[in-house]
Amino acid sequence: MSLFLALFALSGTFLDTVQGTLEMMQFKNFIAQFNKTYASNEEFKHRFLIFQRNMEEAKHLQREERGTAQYGVTKFSDLTDEEFLRCRLDHRAYFESQSFLRQVTEKDAPLKTCDWRKKGVISAAKNQGSCCSCWAFAAVGNIEAQWGIQGTAKNLSVQQLVDCCKSTCGCKGGYPWNAFMTVIKLGGLTGEDKYKYTGKKGTCKNNLKPEATIQDLVILERNETVICSHVSYKGTVTVAINQALLKQYIKGVIDPRPENCHHHKVDHVVLIVGFSRERKYWILKNSWGDNWGEKGFFRLRLGSNACGIAEYPVSAIVNTGTFKRHLCPP
Ligand SMILES: *[C@@H]1O[C@H](CO)[C@@H](O)[C@H](O)[C@H]1NC(C)=O
Ligand SMILES: *[C@@H]1O[C@H](CO)[C@@H](O)[C@H](O)[C@H]1NC(C)=O
Ligand SMILES: *[C@@H]1O[C@H](CO)[C@@H](O)[C@H](O)[C@H]1NC(C)=O
């Protein structure tokens, strides 16, 4: 009996050690892959513990997952949830701050599949860095795509929005409608090459020649079919989502249980660039660089208001004078 217990205890320790060694190898690969440096041995040990906890969490998500998403090592795997959610927007403020927006609906039936990237109007995914400017990237992406769809591709300045917006915004997080209203007040945005992204709030330069203007902004009906129609014929849509599952996301279609990604707790802003109604997913552009997710993009289940994607669909209205219906490439 005691021999059995001793063997049992021994094998338990042995397995723990093997597990620990595997995780250490995984951690060292992670450090190499994402070029991480830690100031001290203590910091290294601390980050390894967090990494191990994140791997547990990723395994848990994988078990709970109903779709085809893969969770695991990402560039955020050495961060605590608190560190990762540093840029979280206050979802309650969303409910209070958008009531003045004009709501529109779409009558045309949506296309079956759509991917605006195939038209060359969606630039590579950018990296917001340590500045909480997701709202500005998702708004500028929306304006760039609409100009591109109507025939004039643009690279517009995100930094101008970060510097020139008023009230809750800058590097402290913000709202896409605030971004669009700032563009209207500025009389348009200048080019990215003339006002480069620094990732810090700076002094507003509003004397640069605008390269793209917008006429209006709208909020779409909270209905995924309506959003599909808008994306099918008019262009991208800026949305707020709950980012809970993005920290551990590697690739595939996120199909969350509602309790794992509550639709009211929207805290991050991204851009819808396409969808497949056949395979039931949205294609979204993030602002965490191209070394996250599917080259900086990700996919989310369509049809179940997953992670609150249908809560705040907004878009700028760009009318360059030659407005006509455009078909999104399948
Ligand atoms: C890795 O990080 C170091 C120090 O931060 C930096 O000097 C180097 O350029 C980085 N290398 C790559 C490939 O990003
Ligand atoms: C926008 O920037 C990208 C990357 O630098 C470049 O390839 C593209 O040609 C630019 N587009 C325009 C319209 O300037
Ligand atoms: C969403 O919009 C479509 C198209 O207008 C409509 O057929 C459908 O009933 C709407 N769904 C809800 C839940 O309102």
Residue 299, domain CATH: 3.90.70.10
Distances (CA, A) of 240 to 83, 92, 134, 144: 20, 12, 10, 19
Q: Find the catalytic residue in 87, 132, 134, 165.
A: 134
Note whether 7 and 146 are same-domain residues.
Answer: no
Name the residue among 42, 46, 48, 43 with its Cα closest to residue 26.
Answer: 48
Average pLDDT of 126-152?
95
Note whether 279 and 229 are same-domain residues.
Answer: yes
Q: Residue 232 corresponds to which tokens in the numbers above?
A: 């099918």
Note whether 197 and 232 are same-domain residues.
Answer: yes
Residue 325 included in any domain: no
Distance CA 35, CA 13 (A): 32
Residue 324 included in any domain: no
pLDDT number for residue 33: 96
The atom number, within ligand 3, closest to the CA of 107 reads 5
Note whether 17 and 111 are same-domain residues.
Answer: no
For the full predicted model, state whether its pTM sits above 0.85.
Answer: yes
Instruction: Of 71-80, 151-160, 283-292, give the lowest mean pLDDT range.
Output: 151-160
Relative to the alpha carbon of 291, which ligand is closest? 1
Average pLDDT of 166-184?
89
Mean of all residue pLDDT scores within the chain: 91
Give the domain range for residue 169.
81-317
Note whether 197 and 285 are same-domain residues.
Answer: yes
Q: Any catalytic annotation for residue 134?
A: yes
Quote the DSSP letter at residue 123.
Answer: P
Note whether 131 and 31 are same-domain residues.
Answer: no
Q: Check if 39 has its Cβ closer than 6 Å to any atom of ligand 1.
A: no
- Give how many domains the chain has, as a whole number: 2
Residue 287 included in any domain: yes
Q: Check if 203 has its Cβ closer than 6 Å to any atom of ligand 1.
A: no
Note whether 97 and 156 are same-domain residues.
Answer: yes
Relative to the alpha carbon of 212, which ligand is closest? 2
Residue 265 included in any domain: yes
